[in-house]
Structure 1
Amino acid sequence: MKFNTLIVLIICFCSTYLSAQKLVTNEISKRIYTTKKLVKAPIIDGKISDVAWDVVPWSSDFVENEPYEGTAPTYQTKFKVIYDAKYLYIALRAFDAHPELIQQRLTRRDGFAGDRINVVIDSYHDKRTAFVFTTTAAGVKGEEIATRNGANFDESWNPIWYTGANVDAEGWTAEMKIPFSQLRFGNAKEQIWGFNVARNIFRKNERSLWQRIPNDKAGFISEAGELHGLVDLKSQKQLEIQPFTVIQYDTYPKELENPFKDGSDFKINGGVDAKIGITNDLTLDLTVNPDFGQVEADPGAIALDGFQIFFEEQRPFFVENKNIFDFKFANGRDNLFYSRRIGRSPQRAANISSGEFADVPQNSTILGAAKFSGKTQNGWSIGVLESVTANEFAEIKQKNGDTREEIVAPLTNYVVARAQKDFNERNSYLGGIFTATNRNLNGNFSELHKAAYTGGFDFRHTWRKRDFYIEGNSIVSYVFGSQEAIEDTQRSMARLFQRVDAQYVNVDPTKTSLTGTGGKIKLGKQGGGNWRYNGGFIWRSPELELNDVGFLRKTDEMIQFLEANYLWQVPKGVYREIELSTEQKAIYDFGGNLNNLEYQISGDINWKNNWWTKTGIGINTQTYSNSFLRGGPRWKSANNRYLYFFFGSDRSKKFSFKLGYFGIRSDAGIYTRNRYVFSINYQPFDAFSLSLENEFNETKDKTQYIGTADFGNTQRYILGAISNDSWATTLRLNYSLNPNFSFQFYGQPFISRGRYAAFNFVNNASADSFSERVNPYTANQLSNGTDAEGNAVFLVDENGDNTTDYSFEKPDFSFVQLQTNLVVRWEYIPGSELFLVWSRGSSGAQDVNNSLTNSVGSQVLDVPAKDTFLLKATYRFIR
């Protein structure tokens, strides 16, 4: 089917179905709770015995939401809400006939384990965004910002508030005290907020709600009840200042003659974070010289396909409220803002000569950063972020003691501005984004962009009780710099304009700028009845570039997609709920070439005993790659089929596990992959939990790219048959003395080993048959040798004249990485913390002939590691 015809059919199908679809819903009336101003403030100890609560009545009549929506819960819940000039107070009573079975699991903040109650407050009353406060039966607090009508929850938000919990003969009780300064609301005389309370009985996997929300509704926040009676609230402008001090001591293997590697380093650092309420809707966050020493290490990974690897942001300043700045314009990780670009490693290595040693900074110093963000009562969501990173210099010393400096990273300014506006009774929004990266190159760094700008707009419209939607976005990028920088961009893995058979792109070495576009349009049904479906189109032009402050793996793609889901949401027989999905996707390049057709069927089942199963099968046909040969001709891959099957036990039990398998098989056995996953979670007692995740990958590929070589006037693209095994084990241990004092351990050994054989070179990259696509090297054509640097290489005598025509490095590898992290955390007063951190890590090569376990053992036991000891203290001043 031609691409344009397929798009027309999608639009016609969706338009016809939407116009014919009849909406059948049972209208649920909005519940209203009317609060009153208190006379005397209660003591927050979790026991709800203060007479202060007597000014308002209890509200109850909760309705079960899971597993049997619309029925009476096993045990009822009730609550009260009162307030004064500065705080909102909430009392909660969770009845339980078996209090000895209540799960009081101790975790760190945001652990969300055990019996718990969530209070959902839509103080914006935009029916899309809410603040969620959680208290567990053990008194552990948690909080989230829910966006996209409950489709996204951000756990990074850490406001100042107070809670307590207590188990008694009737069940358990809790109290909350929430400062109005931590919420966002308008200036109406009487506030009307969206409001709901959810209770989870952990041992039963049962959830009940104060405001009933049928499972076929399109959202969670828009269907909440309402909180009335908040009269004459005064704006509580937030002012928080949090200075911190860090003492760090590093030990590592000493390097002979290297003055920068004498075996240990000691440093003291400090900085300050601040949060200022500009209005009751908008907040300014500031940080000066931030420190990120206590965050968890990135997981081990190796990219054999040449593309960059995405790592999650873990630094607190950038994690908090990150949803405001997100602009994911396409599927996957593509985003106009990727905060890991700020403070990244220097992009240039030090230029040293023999006898010189260099001390190169690991990361660019963030001199300062500021965020201005929030949402106004009239529906404006606003986010502005600016950050400056310093010039970074490598200090270079010679053996005679002479020193010099060499710049390795330029002074850089990053700006991100994001805005959205709700309208049409909060059923629609329009938004926009602008990012800018400006570097002070000072006549240096000709390989970097002088500046990079991106801009875009997005929209979403829902109708018929928000069951149907249409959404989309469009972006444009512009980068400029020296001819060298722009040529490097054209030749990068994301573009490869130098491809020998591409007629629609080519490298222009005289260019000093590039302009590209991208976007998405999507139409579908997200609620009502049993069916869900969507279809749409994504494009990324070849010239698109986001990687100065965004994330983009590939360009030159046009993607058409369709998806349909059928839901069984009412428990019957042995299951609680089932979802069956079908997907179809076609990928074209801007030259009009069809590069992939994919079809998939999958199913998710939650069983009556709270076990779960996920399974699926799929097929890829017409599979081509423009990037496989790194600038060579378009490569045809073998058609492949894949399947996966994962299942796990009841997560509410003290012991639970997950087992899984993912497998790929291609035509003629050219490519096979087996991925095995096994993990356990165990909480032998309330204060201690452990998790162990294991993943083993076994890949065999007869066409793994190795490199290129010149053979006369011909370019040879060299491939090999790789046997690539990787294994990662991640151990996490958590012990909590109380909700504010905890110990956490993280450890992950990672190994990836690749061994090559059956080397060949490309003959006809687009041939249907594997035997026509490549020519194998014979034993007489290959011999062992060394290059000028003494590296082991294969010498190739392709024409058999006993003269080496070219060579390539032996590609076998065995990479091992070990990362461990122990964190002791004490929140000695709300918002102020003390961290004691020990981290240990090492990485390096091992013998490719060793087994995976022996290689990991050697890395752990025999290879000297780097140890870091860190003490960090913060104190939050609040007005």
Structure 2
Amino acid sequence: MKKSAWWARMVGLVVGLARPALAAEEPAAVFQATRAEGSLAVDGRLDEPAWATAPVFSSFTQSFPTPGTAPSEKTEVRLVYDDRNLYVGITAHDSQPGSIHRGIGRRDAIPASDVVRVMVDSLRDRTTGYVFAINAGGTLEDGRITDDVNISTDWDAVWEGSSAVTETGWTAELRLPLRLLRFPEVPEQLWGFHVRREIARTHEQLDSVVIPREANALVSRFTELRDMKGLHHGGQLTLTPYLASRLTSQSRLVDPSVDVGLDFQANLTSDLSLTGTINPDFGQVEADRLLVNLGTSELFFPEKRPFFLEGLDLFQPVGSADGRSAQSLFYSRRIGLTTPLLGAVKLTGTVREGVQIGFLDAVVMGSVDPTRAQAIAEGKDPDSLPLDRRYQFHPERPFHFAPNSSLPAEVSAPTNFLAGVVRTELAEGARVGAMVTSVNPLTARCPTGVPAGDPSCTPRGGQGVAADFSFRSRSGAYALLGQVDGSRVSGGPSEGVLLRDGTRLRSGDMGFGTWLKGGKLGGEPWRLTLSYQHASPKLDLTAAGYQPVQNEQEAKAHVEYGYSSGWGPFAELWTGVLASGRWSTDGRGIGLNQSTVLTADGVLPDLSSFYFELGLERGRLDLREIDGAGIAFQRPSFVFGIFQFETDPTKPLSFNFSGYLDRTRDEALTQGQVGYDVTVGLTWRPLPRLQTEFTTGYNATQDGPRWVGDDGQGRILFAQLLPRFLTLTLRQLVVITPRLTLQAYAQLLTGYGHYGPFYSAEAPGGGILRFSDLQMASGDVDDPSFHTSALNVNLVARWEYRLGSTLFLVYSRAQEELPPPPGAVISRSLTPRTLLSGPSSDTVMLKASYAW
């Protein structure tokens, strides 16, 4: 039996659907490349002799709005190569050259415009690839493709591209260094290759082989690139040292500091590379969004640091585009979160055909202000001592030079983070993998003032292991993805750590988890997605990973009906029904939630898009609301609606709207409560080199009585929480050239949370506490009401003065409001009255890196 036929039959049986797998469409033509004769200048103009003799690929077709039809404009692609580079020349003919959208943006943020995207599957594994994009204004963007369809622009590479508008359209010229790509050592290369052109004014998506939006396939549909012979990756070492100087002003004290560091990359083989960093400085990275978390689960923050973004896709769970999964073994934001990163190395690539590996090891280590640390150890007030303005060498941070007074009085123990992954292709569309993580403190360092060896301060670590799989039919319509994982806790205090749901984790405890997703995920008009996840009470992947909840299982089913190629007045429309349920996994099988949701999302002919949900949440219980008690507390049932709308992003002025509205059902204490959350965003592009984004959000949601503590007499206290939050965010971009950009970011968050009236209840014998068990609290109760406001400002000038070498000038400011005095009445105003008089930190940084 042929491999493809075997695989299509197996997926049909596993997923349990009667309809057979669809056959992939055969490409109409292939790409061909020729060796370059002479040098090529990457100037966007295809005027060298090598371009005139190169084979031309022009068999493009529409994938949107009408798949399979002829494009309105002609596109030609030419490919030439030499021992070091692959050159791509694209001629985008246009009958209305004056209407070409050529907005200029910062690197990796191409504005809505005329764009060409070059996608390369150099391993020809039909699952992973690279994408290099350039628009008519010359802005570059790159990324990695994983799991056939997931594109992440977090990956950054050093390559060149230029574009030019002509009398008959526009042209693009790309130079892709072969060292960026992984490919086998064979006499003649056979790669997967794809080119996509997007025409802004007509909203057309033209592809070198048709890939409808409903296909749930991308890399597996690529056509072939042939005729590249005699390519050798060769060993190559790239070094990028940097020097960063800072002036930080805090509490009227200016702290100058200097950091030096090094990034390096070594190509060990044609498809295996080693990257590393020593004392990385991420001061040029935009600050995280200001958020207030009133829930009982950890928030997820996307990775922004360049070193961790490189090759990050290999460490992410299968089927995850951004690493946000309920059971992620590796969450890179754990590294360097509270303790500086001293250094890290990462090995990624292919060790044999169809086998990919990834290995990462990082060490975090920090130093303390010796004067303040000694004062705390002796029970003295460190603020009563003179500041230690000495510059001393600290072995824990050997490449950081700053006055002792700028260092903290306490740091966590030096810790090693390790992650390893291997994935192999069993057959076309069938992959399995394994991953391990380990977090190990390097010393038994105790916090300042705690005797060494005290069991209460033993540093805590943990290990995780997982096996994953991804089975896809050749068309991509049918798929089955999943993961089985386990964890082990190491170290920590002898009494263990008490989790919010009442589970106590001690050193040596192990947990188990799994998740599955499968069904008919692509095609039309019907789709069916089934998913299930299970986390045992003692599953704890948070030492190195991201796991928002444990002691929970969830089952979902989502049925959709629609078309991606036009349905009535819509260019694309999908409607569906989503049903889900959650239960505890601690042996009690407590039902935590049941929901039914109607969904709809679509695209209008003018490229405006919308998304809509109307649902009912009922039977809600929360095991984590009463911290550490193991009691399932009732949450109100409610009906809700979600509506999101975004106008055509190619217009000079566009906006987006996101609205949420809910109403609790008539239950005790929650009758008729209405909550809402509204966000409105505006994007203005008056000139190709200028872009302004402004977003405002107002949150007024509520969720019935919340736990606030106990009364000291064995009764649990609750209170109604009325929260109100306002956020204002501004992003301003000025592009002088594609390599010289100025960017400003500012966010203001202000809000309050008012608690009251207060209720009390005794701990239930059956482990479930309902609203009917609550009574009005008597006596004095501590009021946890709060008011908050904070401001983040980030100004960045970025100049890539040489390919791969950059100069950053950064100003940042972080400020919080003054805390209210004891006993003060908490304001219910959204005005940040004491913000400007509150504590602040201002930093000016100059950072230069040089690559060779």
TM-score if structure 2 supplies the norm length? 0.88
Change (3 A) 1:342 1:422: same
SS of corresponding position for 1:128: coil
SS of corresponding position for 1:324: helix
State whether structure 2 residue 423 is matched by structure 1 residue 420.
Answer: yes
Change (3 A) 1:849 1:454: closer
SS of corresponding position for 1:340: helix
Deviation at 1:749, TM superposition (A): 0.3
**Does the aligned pair in 1 maintain the 2:818–2:834 contact within 8 Å?**
no
Change (3 A) 1:23 1:200: same
Change (3 A) 1:22 1:481: closer
Which residue of 591, 597, 601 corresponds with 1:600?
597
Deviation at 1:140, TM superposition (A): 1.4
SS of corresponding position for 1:575: coil
Which residue of 462, 475, 486 corresponds with 1:476?
486
What residue in structure 2 maps to residue 29 of structure 1?
A: 27
Deviation track 1:315-339 (CA, whole Å, cap 9, x = no partner) reads: 2111222111113799845311111
State whether structure 2 residue 460 is matched by structure 1 residue 454.
Answer: no
Measure, in 2, the Cα distance between the counterparts of 1:287 and 1:155.
Answer: 21
Measure, in 1, the Cα distance between the counterparts of 2:703 and 2:575.
Answer: 32
**Does the aligned pair in 2 maintain the 1:515–1:543 contact within 8 Å?**
yes
Change (3 A) 1:29 1:366: closer
Q: Which runs of 5+ in 1 are unaligned?
A: 1-12, 255-262, 346-363, 498-506, 783-794, 796-807
Measure, in 1, the Cα distance between the counterparts of 2:346 and 2:240.
Answer: 15
**Does the aligned pair in 2 maintain the 1:458–1:472 contact within 8 Å?**
yes
Deviation at 1:252, TM superposition (A): 2.3
Deviation at 1:468, TM superposition (A): 1.6
What percent identity do the matched residue pairs reach? 26
Which residue of 492, 499, 522 corresponds with 2:499?
492
Change (3 A) 1:729 1:769: same
Measure, in 2, the Cα distance between the counterparts of 1:859 and 1:710.
Answer: 35
Measure, in 1, the Cα distance between the counterparts of 2:54 and 2:117.
Answer: 20
Measure, in 2, the Cα distance between the counterparts of 1:412 and 1:17.
Answer: 43
Change (3 A) 1:770 1:27: closer
What residue in structure 2 maps to residue 803 of structure 1?
A: none
Counterparts of 1:123-202 in structure 2, within 5 Å, are 123-150=122-149, 152-202=150-200
What residue in structure 2 maps to residue 675 of structure 1?
A: 677
Which residue of 810, 828, 831 corresponds with 1:854?
831
Measure, in 2, the Cα distance between the counterparts of 1:272 and 1:836.
Answer: 19
Which residue of 821, 836, 842 corresponds with 2:815?
842
Change (3 A) 1:627 1:645: same
What residue in structure 2 maps to residue 116 of structure 1?
A: 115
Change (3 A) 1:93 1:869: same
Deviation track 1:812-857 (CA, whole Å, cap 9, x = no partner) reads: 11111100100000000111000000011101356776564422x6
What residue in structure 2 maps to residue 411 of structure 1?
A: 414
Measure, in 2, the Cα distance between the counterparts of 1:215 and 1:612.
Answer: 14
The amino acid that maps onto 2:651 is: K
What residue in structure 2 maps to residue 433 of structure 1?
A: 435
Deviation at 1:14, TM superposition (A): 9.2
Change (3 A) 1:605 1:306: closer
Which residue of 558, 563, 572 corresponds with 2:558?
563
Change (3 A) 1:376 1:195: farther
Counterparts of 1:259-274 in structure 2, within 5 Å, are 263-274=253-264
State whether structure 2 residue 381 is matched by structure 1 residue 379.
Answer: no
Measure, in 1, the Cα distance between the counterparts of 2:768 and 2:628.
Answer: 20
Deviation track 1:548-591 (CA, whole Å, cap 9, x = no partner) reads: 11122221112122112222112244211011122111111122
SS of corresponding position for 1:212: coil
What residue in structure 2 maps to residue 662 of structure 1?
A: 660
What residue in structure 2 maps to residue 804 of structure 1?
A: none
Deviation track 1:84-116 (CA, whole Å, cap 9, x = no partner) reads: 111111111101111111111111111222211
The amino acid that maps onto 2:680 is: F
Measure, in 1, the Cα distance between the counterparts of 2:519 and 2:757.
Answer: 48
Deviation at 1:678, TM superposition (A): 0.4
Measure, in 1, the Cα distance between the counterparts of 2:542 and 2:343.
Answer: 21
Measure, in 2, the Cα distance between the counterparts of 1:224 and 1:16.
Answer: 26
Measure, in 1, the Cα distance between the counterparts of 2:365 and 2:14.
Answer: 57
Which residue of 510, 516, 519 corresponds with 2:514?
519
SS of corresponding position for 2:51: helix
**Does the aligned pair in 1 maintain the 2:750–2:831 contact within 8 Å?**
no
Counterparts of 1:227-306 in structure 2, within 5 Å, are 227-254=225-252, 263-306=253-296
**Does the aligned pair in 2 maintain the 1:327–1:433 contact within 8 Å?**
no
**Does the aligned pair in 2 maintain the 1:35–1:82 contact within 8 Å?**
yes
For structure 1, which segment, 515-524 or 465-474, has the greater mean C-alpha deviation from structure 2 after superposition? 465-474
State whether structure 2 residue 819 is matched by structure 1 residue 829.
Answer: no
State whether structure 2 residue 715 is matched by structure 1 residue 716.
Answer: yes
Deviation track 1:355-397 (CA, whole Å, cap 9, x = no partner) reads: xxxxxxxxx2222100001235501111100011125434315
State whether structure 2 residue 41 is matched by structure 1 residue 65.
Answer: no
Measure, in 2, the Cα distance between the counterparts of 1:634 and 1:48.
Answer: 68
The amino acid that maps onto 1:473 is: Q
Measure, in 2, the Cα distance between the counterparts of 1:96 and 1:301.
Answer: 46
The amino acid that maps onto 1:675 is: D
**Does the aligned pair in 2 maintain the 1:62–1:211 contact within 8 Å?**
yes
Measure, in 1, the Cα distance between the counterparts of 2:484 and 2:771.
Answer: 43
Measure, in 2, the Cα distance between the counterparts of 1:423 and 1:829.
Answer: 43
Change (3 A) 1:340 1:737: same
What residue in structure 2 maps to residue 613 of structure 1?
A: 610
What residue in structure 2 maps to residue 776 of structure 1?
A: 776
Change (3 A) 1:437 1:22: closer
**Does the aligned pair in 2 maintain the 1:565–1:580 contact within 8 Å?**
yes
Deviation at 1:124, TM superposition (A): 0.8
Deviation at 1:811, TM superposition (A): 1.2
Q: Which runs of 5+ in 2 are unaligned?
A: 1-10, 376-381, 389-403, 446-452
**Does the aligned pair in 2 maintain the 1:32–1:226 contact within 8 Å?**
yes
**Does the aligned pair in 2 maintain the 1:23–1:528 contact within 8 Å?**
no
SS of corresponding position for 1:809: coil
Measure, in 2, the Cα distance between the counterparts of 1:571 and 1:186.
Answer: 42
State whether structure 2 residue 358 is matched by structure 1 residue 341.
Answer: no
Aligned length: 790
What residue in structure 1 maps to residue 393 of structure 2?
A: none
**Does the aligned pair in 1 maintain the 2:318–2:470 contact within 8 Å?**
no
Measure, in 2, the Cα distance between the counterparts of 1:866 and 1:549.
Answer: 30
Deviation at 1:238, TM superposition (A): 3.4
Deviation at 1:177, TM superposition (A): 1.4
What residue in structure 2 maps to residue 587 of structure 1?
A: 582
What residue in structure 1 maps to residue 690 of structure 2?
A: 688
**Does the aligned pair in 2 maintain the 1:329–1:520 contact within 8 Å?**
no
Deviation at 1:400, TM superposition (A): 5.7
What residue in structure 2 maps to residue 48 of structure 1?
A: 46
Measure, in 2, the Cα distance between the counterparts of 1:83 and 1:738.
Answer: 28
Measure, in 2, the Cα distance between the counterparts of 1:38 and 1:678.
Answer: 51
Deviation at 1:437, TM superposition (A): 0.9
Deviation track 1:694-729 (CA, whole Å, cap 9, x = no partner) reads: 111003444022111222xxx211111221101111
What residue in structure 1 maps to residue 298 of structure 2?
A: 308
Please report the RMSD computed on the Cα atoms of aligned residues, expressed in angstroms.
Answer: 2.5
SS of corresponding position for 2:510: strand
The amino acid that maps onto 2:640 is: Y
Measure, in 2, the Cα distance between the counterparts of 1:773 and 1:328.
Answer: 44
Measure, in 2, the Cα distance between the counterparts of 1:593 and 1:542.
Answer: 13
Deviation at 1:769, TM superposition (A): 11
**Does the aligned pair in 2 maintain the 1:534–1:562 contact within 8 Å?**
yes
The amino acid that maps onto 1:859 is: L
Measure, in 2, the Cα distance between the counterparts of 1:148 and 1:17.
Answer: 18
What residue in structure 2 maps to residue 357 of structure 1?
A: none
Measure, in 1, the Cα distance between the counterparts of 2:152 and 2:43.
Answer: 27
What residue in structure 2 maps to residue 553 of structure 1?
A: 548
**Does the aligned pair in 2 maintain the 1:679–1:693 contact within 8 Å?**
yes
Deviation track 1:486-543 (CA, whole Å, cap 9, x = no partner) reads: x342x122x413xxxxxxxxx59xx542110111122211233322212132110001
Which residue of 809, 821, 824 corresponds with 2:782?
809
The amino acid that maps onto 1:817 is: A
